[in-house]
Chains A and B, each alone.
Chain A
Amino acid sequence: MSSSLPQNEQALENRVKPKRKSAIATFFSNLSRSWTGLIGFIIIMTLIVISLIGQWITPFDPYFAEFSKKLLPPMTEGHLLGTDQLGRDIFSRIILGARVSVIIGLATALIAGLIGTIIGIIAGFFRGWIDIILMRIVDVTLSFPFILLVLVINAIIGAGLRNIIISLAVGGWVIFARVIRSEVLALREKEFITACIATGVSRFEILIKHIVPNLFTPIIILASLQIGTYIIAEASISFLGFGVAPPTPAWGNMLNEGKDYIFSSWWLITFPGLAIVITALGVNLFGDWLRDTLDPELKGE
Chain B
Amino acid sequence: MLDFIIKRFFQVIVVVLLALTVVFFLIRISGDPTTLFLPPDAPKDQIEEYKELLGYNRPLIVQYGDFMFHAVQGDFGESLRSQEDALGIVLSRIPATFQLAISALLIALIIAIPLGVLSAYKRNTVFDKVGVALTIVGQAIPSFWLGLILIYFFAAQLKILPSGGGGTAIHLILPTLTLAAYSVARFTRFTRSAMLDVLRKDYIRTSKASGVPTFRLIMRYALRNSLIPIITLVALDLGVLLGGAVITEVVFSWPGVGRLLMQSLMNRDFPIVLAGVFIIALIYALVNFIADVLYAYVNPQIRVK
A269, B284: Cβ atoms closer than 8 Å: no
A276, B145: Cβ atoms closer than 8 Å: yes
Query: Given the complex, which residues of A lie within 8 Å of B69, measured CB to CB?
Result: none
Whole-angstrom distance between the alpha carbons of A277 and B266 in the complex?
27
| Stretch touching chain A among B53-61, B216-224, B273-281 | B273-281
B144, A156: Cβ atoms closer than 8 Å: no
Whole-angstrom distance between the alpha carbons of A35 and B108 in the complex?
29
User: In the complex, which residue of chain B has the Cβ closest to the Cβ of A279?
Assistant: B140
| Stretch touching chain B among A83-91, A122-130, A183-191, A255-263 | A255-263
CB distance from A139 to the nearest CB of B (A): 7
B285, A157: Cβ atoms closer than 8 Å: no
Query: Given the complex, which residues of A lie within 8 Å of B281, measured CB to CB?
Result: 144
B239, A145: Cβ atoms closer than 8 Å: yes
Whole-angstrom distance between the alpha carbons of A117 and B262 in the complex?
32
From A36, A146, A277, name the one whose CB has the most chain B CB atoms within 10 angstroms.
A277
Query: Given the complex, which residues of A lie within 8 Å of B152, measured CB to CB?
Result: 262, 266, 269-270
B284, A144: Cβ atoms closer than 8 Å: yes
B243, A281: Cβ atoms closer than 8 Å: no
Q: Size class of B's contact patch?
A: 35 or more
B288, A148: Cβ atoms closer than 8 Å: no
| Stretch touching chain A among B14-22, B35-43, B81-89, B204-212 | B14-22
From B23, B142, B239, name the one whose CB has the most chain A CB atoms within 10 angstroms.
B142
Query: For window 250-293 of chain A, which residues contact chain B by CB distance below 8 Å?
Result: 255, 259, 262-263, 266, 269-270, 273, 276-278, 280-281, 284-285, 288
From A144, A273, A280, A284, name the one whose CB has the most chain B CB atoms within 10 angstroms.
A144
For B265, give its contact among A144, A155, A266, A281 (CB under 8 Å): A155
Whole-angstrom distance between the alpha carbons of A161 and B262 in the complex?
20
> Any chain B CB within 8 A of the CB of A140?
yes
> Any chain B CB within 8 A of the CB of A228?
yes
> Any chain A CB within 8 A of the CB of B131?
no
Contact with B along A231-245 (1 / 0, CB 8 A): 010011001111000
B144, A269: Cβ atoms closer than 8 Å: no
Query: Given the complex, which residues of A lie within 8 Å of B277, measured CB to CB?
Result: 152
A140, B14: Cβ atoms closer than 8 Å: yes
User: In the complex, which residue of chain B has the Cβ closest to the Cβ of A145?
Assistant: B243
B280, A148: Cβ atoms closer than 8 Å: yes
User: In the complex, which residue of chain A has the Cβ closest to the Cβ of B153?
Assistant: A266
Query: Given the complex, which residues of A lie within 8 Å of B262, measured CB to CB?
Result: 240
CB distance from A150 to the nearest CB of B (A): 9
Contact with A along B234-252 (1 / 0, CB 8 A): 0000011011101100110
CB distance from A19 to the nearest CB of B (A): 35
CB distance from A260 to the nearest CB of B (A): 11
Contact with B along A208-226 (1 / 0, CB 8 A): 0000000000000000000
Whole-angstrom distance between the alpha carbons of A78 and B197 in the complex?
54
CB distance from B96 to the nearest CB of A (A): 17
For B148, give its contact among A148, A155, A262 (CB under 8 Å): A262
Whole-angstrom distance between the alpha carbons of A301 and B197 in the complex?
11
> Any chain A CB within 8 A of the CB of B125?
no
Given contacts A144-B239, A266-B152, 18 further A-B contacts (CB under 8 A): A139-B11, A146-B243, A147-B247, A148-B280, A152-B277, A155-B266, A156-B27, A156-B30, A156-B265, A235-B145, A236-B144, A239-B142, A240-B262, A273-B142, A277-B141, A280-B140, A281-B136, A284-B139
